[in-house]
């Protein structure tokens, strides 16, 4: 691979992971990249490392440019192991003068690697570091998405090394957003946000406002995963604004799991009612859809309608697991309802409603439950509930 320059003397030296398909429970069907960046200046500086399994890739890319032992500084923007896993080996090879990290990054590195003898230099928001011709400005971004996270902004070139913000799990031989289909990049960006950053939306909103107030002349955004934004920065920034404020489309999701097709029939009837109102509707069977793909749809949907039969006085396992997963990601600005069939005890709708309320999803229906196979009349009730939900979605998204 030829050396890839973001600007004169600033290189991508990361690794492409074509094979990874699971990232702590999040399906990565297009693989991922572990981005690292090298600046050649009076002080040669490496920004982040890579997952330990891909250390040889990083070293090969660095050696195409410079002897790794000539690196003076190492900046750790984020300590999660897909970015710092090869840090101990690199510290032995490079022996840098200084290792820069945030205050929380220092604690995290010690907790991970237990090396108090490393040459730590702790930096805070607003700290600037001269490399010679270039200057780094550090910006702490706590809980986006770990306590240690920070950005590094190269002032002279307008390049923002954004850690895990604005990234995508997306393996490609191309490095920039204008070299690949934008639709694919945005699809993976949405999935990344929905499954990793969604619960931090209030902090993302504040960060976007704070960065705007800094008047940084950002010409390029280089995240730690996926392609580098150099042409469509306005697109990803606007998407993050929408996602962090909970802006929704006229869209509803009917998410269900069924045992003997009774709850499935109710789901289809509810979806039919929604479609009659002109609301975009996705009918999602949990047996054949991955939770991380469903969360990507949740990101922009206004209504979340969930269904399950009752099993052992509770819910079917897939719907119970999905609700737990969604609760952890804290969806915002949603309305919801529930439904389900039962044999004798019939707790599922009550449990579904409670789960939605725990997520602060506004219940707009009491829900529909029915014993065994739904009759024509019950299916008509389901369709009518779908119509009412659709009317609410249209009213709430056009106000």
Q: Is 145 labeled as catalytic in the residue annotation?
A: yes
Q: Is 325 labeled as catalytic in the residue annotation?
A: no
Of 83, 106, 169, 225, the catalytic one is 225
In this predicted model, which residue has the larger pLDDT, 194 or 260? 194
Of 192, 198, 240, 256, the catalytic one is 192
Q: What is the 3-state secondary structure (H, E, C) of the chain?
A: CCCEEEECCEEECCEEECCCCEECCEECCCCEEECCEEECCCCCEEECCCCHHHHHHHHHHHHCCCCHHHCCEEECCCCCHHHHCCHHHHHHHHCCCEEEECHHHHHHHHHHHCCCCCCEEECCCCCEEECCCCEEEEEECCCCCCCCCEEEEECCCCEEECCCCCCCCCCCCCCEHHHCCHHHHHHHHHHHHHHHHHHHHHHHHHHHHHHHHHCCCCCEEECCCCCEECCCHHHHHHHHHHHHHCCCCCEEEEEECCCCCHHHHHHHHHHHHHHHCCCEEEEEECCCCCHHHHHHHHCCCCEEEEECCEECCEECHHHHHHHHHHHHHCCCCCEEEEEEEECCCCCHHHHHHHHHHHCCCEECCCCEEEECCCCHHHHHHHHHHHHHHHHHHHHHHHC
Across the chain, mean pLDDT equals 92
Give pLDDT, residue 223. 96
Least-confidence region, from 96-110, 162-176, 348-362: 348-362
User: pTM higher than 0.95 for the full model?
Assistant: no
Q: Is 83 labeled as catalytic in the residue annotation?
A: no
Q: Is 250 labeled as catalytic in the residue annotation?
A: no
CATH number of the domain located at residue range(s) 4-244 in this protein? 3.60.15.10
Give pLDDT, residue 83. 87
Please check the confidence at residue 368 and state whether its pLDDT lies above 80.
Answer: yes
Of 41, 48, 82, 188, the catalytic one is 82
Of 54, 61, 78, 83, the catalytic one is 78
Residues 311-342 have pLDDT tens digits of: 887 778 889 888 999 999 999 999 999 998 87
Over range 224-253, report the average pLDDT: 94
Give pLDDT, residue 147. 86
Give pLDDT, residue 207. 87
Q: Is 192 labeled as catalytic in the residue annotation?
A: yes
Q: Is 78 labeled as catalytic in the residue annotation?
A: yes
Q: Is 225 labeled as catalytic in the residue annotation?
A: yes
Q: Is 179 labeled as catalytic in the residue annotation?
A: no
CATH number of the domain located at residue range(s) 252-398 in this protein? 3.40.50.360
Please check the confidence at residue 1 and state whether its pLDDT lies above 80.
Answer: no
Give pLDDT, residue 256. 92
Of 41, 80, 177, 250, the catalytic one is 80
Over range 70-85, report the average pLDDT: 92
Give pLDDT, residue 398. 59
Q: Residue ranges of the domains in the chain?
A: 4-244, 252-398
Instruction: Please determine whether the domains at 4-244 and 252-398 fall in the same fold group of CATH.
Output: no
Please check the confidence at residue 143 and state whether its pLDDT lies above 80.
Answer: yes
Please check the confidence at residue 281 and state whether its pLDDT lies above 70.
Answer: yes
Q: How confident is the model at residue 356 (pLDDT cuts 50, 70, 90)?
A: very high
């Amino acid at each position: 691979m030829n050396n890839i320059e973001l600007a004169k003397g600033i290189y991508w030296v990361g690794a492409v992971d074509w094979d990874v398909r699971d990232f702590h429970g999040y399906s990565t069907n297009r693989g991922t990249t572990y981005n690292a960046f090298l600046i050649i200046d009076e002080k040669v500086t490496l920004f982040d490392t890579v997952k330990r399994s891909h250390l040889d890739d990083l070293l090969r890319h660095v050696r195409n440019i410079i002897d790794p032992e000539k690196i003076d500084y190492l900046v750790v923007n984020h300590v999660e192991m897909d970015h710092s896993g090869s840090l101990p080996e690199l510290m032995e090879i490079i022996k840098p003068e200084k290792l820069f990290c945030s205050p929380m990054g220092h604690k995290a590195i010690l907790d991970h690697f237990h090396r108090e003898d490393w040459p730590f230099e702790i930096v805070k928001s607003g700290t600037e570091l001269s490399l010679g011709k270039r200057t780094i400005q550090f910006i702490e971004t706590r809980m986006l998405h770990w306590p240690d996270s920070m950005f590094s902004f190269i002032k002279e070139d307008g390049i923002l090394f954004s850690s895990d913000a604005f990234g995508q799990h997306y393996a490609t031989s191309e490095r920039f957003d204008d070299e690949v289909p934008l639709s694919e990049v945005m699809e993976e960006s949405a999935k990344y946000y929905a499954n990793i950053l969604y619960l931090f939306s209030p902090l993302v909103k504040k960060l976007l406002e704070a960065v705007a107030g800094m008047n940084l002349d950002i010409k390029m955004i280089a995240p730690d995963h996926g392609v580098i934004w150099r042409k469509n920065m306005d697109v990803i920034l606007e998407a993050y604004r929408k996602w962090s404020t909970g802006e929704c489309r006229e869209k509803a999701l009917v998410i269900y799991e069924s045992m003997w097709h009774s709850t499935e029939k109710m789901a289809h009837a509810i979806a039919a009612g929604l479609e009659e109102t002109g609301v975009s509707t996705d009918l999602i069977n949990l047996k054949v859809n991955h939770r991380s793909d469903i969360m990507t749809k949740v990101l922009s949907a206004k209504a979340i309608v969930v269904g399950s039969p009752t099993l052992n006085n509770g819910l079917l396992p897939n719907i119970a697991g999905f609700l737990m997963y969604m609760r952890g990601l804290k969806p915002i600005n949603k309305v919801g309802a529930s439904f389900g069939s039962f044999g004798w005890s019939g707790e599922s709708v009550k449990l579904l409603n409670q789960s939605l309320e725990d997520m602060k999803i506004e219940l707009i229906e009491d829900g529909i439950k029915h014993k065994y196979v739904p009759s024509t009349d019950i299916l008509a009730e389901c369709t009518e509930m779908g119509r009412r939900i659709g009317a609410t979605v249209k009213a709430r998204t056009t106000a």
